[in-house]
Amino acid sequence: MQLPYSDILDIAHFSRLFDNKSECYKLFWFQAIARKIKEGHTIITFEELIDEMIADAWYMVSEYHLNLGPNDALERVVHRLGEISNMKSCEKKEVILDYLAACEDKEVLNMKRTLSQNVPYRLQAPFMESMKGKEWNRSGKNLAARINQEERLMYYFLQFRGLDTRIQIQKEWADYIEEKYEIIQGWVERNLIQYLQRRNPSVPGIVTSSIRRKRGIWKRLKNTGK
């Protein structure tokens, strides 16, 4: 899919954002960022984003039993939540978010931390051609410092404090993403659908669904009988 052109932003690299992934974190992570931008935020904590990711994953895992990845922490958090809470599989999103924000469960917190360990840094790897392979095998703090030196990235790290770490979206990117939100959202979704289809070959019709809004995907999935 062709992403909208911009003469100030590095769209060539941006379009390769999801080239490499073994789990689905990147997709959810970016989707969460885009949504926050749409809501007008440009400074966001890890925790807010991760809560969004979990809420998004909630429906897919608990209601449709999709497999999100070979060893996916997102999937595990959802299962854990299912055990300790009595939220329904179709629970309202705000309820899930509230629950997550207040949740003190050790395991959940642990998994949240696991989720924050890699994706936040590696998402921007396509922009940083100078960093190869093993160079990514460093600590978060180290990486954050390294990434902050790079130019023309989508976001930078403000402070480094576990889940409270904040990122700041660059204004140009925020504008771009907000303005083209629908297109970008569709692009992310397409990637996500492709990924899910590959992971769940036995569930028919994820790819063939051309519906753009998420609710549409859920509906379609339901109709195909899973």
- Which of 9, 26, 31, 32 is in the footprint of DNA by CB under 7 A? 26
Q: Which two tokens stand for residue 75?
A: 């999937």
Residue 73 makes contact with DNA by CB under 7 A: yes
Q: How far is the CB of 29 from DNA (least distance, A)?
A: 9
Strand (E) or helix (H) holding 156:
strand 155-159
Residues 117-146 that bind DNA (CB under 7 A): 117-119, 122, 125, 132-133, 136-142
What phi and psi, each to the nearest 5 degrees, are found at residue 118?
-120, -55
Residue 33 makes contact with DNA by CB under 7 A: no
Nearer to DNA, 93 or 161 (CB): 161
Pinpoint the alpha helices (H) of 62-200.
Answer: 73-84, 93-102, 106-115, 119-122, 140-149, 171-179, 181-199
User: For residue 91, what is the DSSP state?
Assistant: -
Q: How far is the CB of 56 from DNA (least distance, A)?
A: 15
Nearer to DNA, 40 or 70 (CB): 70
Q: How far is the CB of 126 from DNA (least distance, A)?
A: 8
Asked if 172 and 151 count as a contact pair (C-beta separation under 8 A), the reply is no
**Cα separations in angstroms, 76 against 18, 108, 150:** 22, 9, 34
Residue 21 makes contact with DNA by CB under 7 A: yes
**Nearest by Cα to 53 from 84, 21, 97:** 97
Nearer to DNA, 4 or 162 (CB): 162
Residues 145-164 that bind DNA (CB under 7 A): 160-162
Residue ranges binding DNA (CB under 7 A): 20-23, 25-26, 70-73, 106, 113-115, 117-119, 122, 125, 132-133, 136-142, 160-162, 198
